[in-house]
Amino acid sequence: MHLLILAILIPFFAAAFIPFLYRRIGKLNIGWFVLIVPLALFIILAMRIPDISAGDTIAATLEWIPSLGINFSIYLDGLSLILALLITGMGSLVILYSIYYLSPYDSLPHFYAYLLLFMGAMLGVVLSDNLLVLYVFWELTSISSFLLIAFWFHRKNSRYGAQKSLLITVFGGFGMLAGFIMLHTMTDTFSVREIAASIGQYTDHALFYPAMFLVLLGAFTKSAQFPFHIWLPDAMEAPTPVSAYLHSATMVKAGIYLVARFTPIFGGTSAWFWTVTLVGLVTLFWGSFCAVRQTDLKALLAYSTISQLGLIMSLFGMGSAALYFGDGSNGALYGLATFAALFHLVNHSTFKGALFMVVGIVDHQVGTRDIRRLGGLISFLPITFTFAMIGSFSMAGLPFFNGFLSKEMFFTASLNSASLPIFSAGTWGWLIPVIAWTASVLTFVYCMIIVFRTFLGQPQLKKLDKKPVEPPIGMLISPAILSLLIVGIFFAPNLLGDHLLRPALGGVLPGMAEAAPHITAWHGFQPELWMTLGVIVIGGILFATLRYWKRVYSLIPDTWTFNNLYNRFLAGLENNSNTLTSFYMTGYLPHYFAYIFTFFALVAGGTLVFTGALSIDFSNDAPVKLYEFLLVLVMMIAAVAILFVRSRLTSILLNGVLGFSIAIFFVLFRAPDLALTQLVIETVTTVLFLLCFYFLPELKKDRIPRNAKIRNAAIAIAGGTTVVLIALSVHSGKLFESISSYFENSYELAGGKNIVNAILGDFRGFDTMLESLVLFIAGIGVYTLIRIKSGKEPKKNEDK
């Protein structure tokens, strides 16, 4: 088995091993053992950097369902490598942080098992080449994230946030699956690489654009794009290590990865360019606009994450235009946006991961995340303040931090897209830099809120739950490493650019890896610089006057929100489902029979009539003799009479008439063994009925209205007629040769002269054994109930 396939499976094996390990390590925190898994995987993947940066790719296949073209195929290129390194690298830092963050009273085995399940699922998403395997891992990320978000399940908000994230992301996943099936229908392959290589001949296919939008639906829901962003703020009820891992570096990046991976398939078209770009820009603006009004630090980071994800998404949309021009100079010009998206994807993981950990430290050491109760914490948490400042200033796009470099590229890409000579950008392209700059101003404002409102100003110790002190050194290691990366990438960006970003660019825009730009902090007095200065100046003014203009948020009614729409939809769904369920779940057995037989008659009968399957042919049937007519007439009279008799004894005897009449038919049709079986069973059941009904109260017929009787009669006749027509049609229209000739050779095949016995004992031996087992279990149940009823149940062991 290939090492990279094992890299995906190892977290799953480790998760299964955790419960056994936890019982044996005593009081030692299990997180130290779990930390080995992502750290080892990170080292294994990092060893592949020289090969990938040299232009190589790694592929491996493990057969799964080859007959359907579904195999466990993995593919490692620059794009998947950069995501895999983020998954394992951030996973290592988050697990180290969680060792000091989580309480010993938390269920640590569950937490780390869920975290490893999520890690393995994410690695499966970014390394899978088969569409259906990718989808399996995609939904596993939704399930494992549901478990992580609801980790503190005793909290109502945690359960609500987990449910919301699951419903929205799984809904998008179903749409994505439909898109994958459409792609397979077009190209006759599940391989992403093969689809990308052959998609040029299918761009005019009727399923091309439906598949595109369904794939984008999955990407937008997972990456919290507008209007599906509403699940992310509620997911902040998860423990802070979960938020730092899922909602800054991994889960939300799965949607970004999907867009990047499918850009070679759908990119270069106007629909892809405008859909991805505009959805990203709207998400960028709306996320930053909502972040400013938040009073909870974690909620602020949630909306800032939405905003930054929108920024990355819009860059991938802008960069897709490069595929229209190819690998020429214009392709390289517009491919800058894709390079900026990959760069900011890495930068965002560093500064947002650090900020989530900082907020976790504040909450852990102070007891609150409410900005209105905070202030002046720099005196008590100076090291934490340093990390908060580095992360916030990087997110704001200020110099000397890595966010500045990718934010400058973002402005450059937005200006380039405004003058794009294709896709009607000359008409609406000016909106791209305007929205980008406006959202960046609001980003600057909420970044300053994090720093100044939390750490500067006058301390409010009386409003805090505990006296603030710096956390243990172990809790500071992870944000310290991320802060060093934030600064280090600014001063040595091309170390990242040449070895990771350039090959990743080739994975998104094939053939354009060599067009990757050289990253520099100074470009001269270009429009991007003036845009950055404008962000700082206008953003500073807006932050200083925040208390005056923040009233604008009160103009938006609370009912005009997507959250309210989601809650009302769920409430309406619940109420309507209750009404519908109460309508047919009446607790009255005749009603249930009426529903079942009506549905059966409509569906089965309708299928017979409207598909032309109704075919009755008596030409090859044997003649029906007089005594057979008489026997059928007796059975009909007995069956109808059961409905009208008032005595249970009479109804049991009439039911016996039906059973014994069938036994006579078996005799007439020369099946003595079946006749004997029928006679024995009918005799036993009749005796049992008589014994049971002897103890029941006197039979009283319910008074049923005349209309109900007519309705029931109509349903009964329709059901019976449908069964008869199906039987006659099946008998008349034989589509396949009868298999009875095979069983006629029972003596040679099974050594049995009796065909029925050979079928039961040999041909269907396994089925017969299971039926006997069911009867045996039922007998044990009956025996137990009789013993309990008679007061003879076994005595309990008093010593236990």
In the predicted model, what is the mean pLDDT of the chain?
89
What is the structure's pLDDT at 534? Answer: 95
What residues have CB less than 8 Å from 758, skipping those under 6 apart? 743, 746, 747, 749, 750, 751, 752
For every residue of 394-462, which 3-state class applies, written as one string?
HHHCCCCCHHHHHHHHHHHHHHHHHCCCCCCHHHHCCHHHHHHHHHHHHHHHHHHHHHHHHHCCCCCHH
Q: Give the alpha-carbon dihedral of 101, 105, 106, 108, to 10 degrees.
A: 90
What is the structure's pLDDT at 688? Answer: 85
Distance of CA 21 to the CA centre of its chain: 29
Residue 705 clears pLDDT 60, i.e. is over it: yes
Amino acid identity, position 6:
L
What is the structure's pLDDT at 800? Answer: 37
Structure tokens at 599: 């549905």
What is the structure's pLDDT at 342? Answer: 95
For every residue of 605-621, which 3-state class applies, written as one string?
HHHHHHCCCCCCCCCCC
Mean pLDDT of 375-381: 91
Separation between Cα atoms, residue 554 and residue 536, nearest integer Å? 26
Q: Is the peptide bond before 697 cis (omega within 30 degrees of 0)?
A: no
Separation between Cα atoms, residue 752 and residue 219, nearest integer Å? 61
Separation between Cα atoms, residue 129 and residue 76, nearest integer Å? 9
Residue 737 clears pLDDT 80, i.e. is over it: no
* Residue 728 backbone dihedrals phi, psi, to 5 degrees: -70, -40
Mean pLDDT of 616-640: 85
Mean pLDDT of 499-503: 94
What is the structure's pLDDT at 699? Answer: 63
Separation between Cα atoms, residue 497 and residue 150, nearest integer Å? 38
Distances in whole angstroms, Cα of residue 196 to Cα of each of 36, 59, 168, 184, 204: 37, 16, 28, 12, 15
Residue 796 clears pLDDT 50, i.e. is over it: no
742-771 residue pLDDT tens: 777 777 788 877 777 788 788 878 888 888
Q: How confident is the model at residue 791 (pLDDT cuts 50, 70, 90)?
A: low
Task: Please compute Rg for the chain using Cα positions.
Answer: 35
Kindly report the number of other CB atoms within 10 A of residue 399's CB atom.
Answer: 14
Mean pLDDT of 174-181: 96
482-497 residue pLDDT tens: 999 999 999 999 999 9
Q: Per this entry, what is the length of the chain?
A: 800
71-82 residue pLDDT tens: 889 999 999 999
Q: In percent, how much of the chain has pLDDT > 70? A: 97
CB 345 within 8 A of CB 256: yes
Mean pLDDT of 558-586: 82
Burial class (CB in 10 A: 0-12, 13-18, 19+), 235: buried
Separation between Cα atoms, residue 291 and residue 476, nearest integer Å? 26
Bridge partners, 370 (sequence order): 296
pLDDT top residue among 734 and 469: 469
CB 225 within 8 A of CB 258: no
Domain residue ranges of the chain, discontinuous segments joined by +: 3-544, 551-579, 647-696
Separation between Cα atoms, residue 82 and residue 342, nearest integer Å? 9
Mean pLDDT of 232-244: 91
Bridge partners, 72 (sequence order): 62
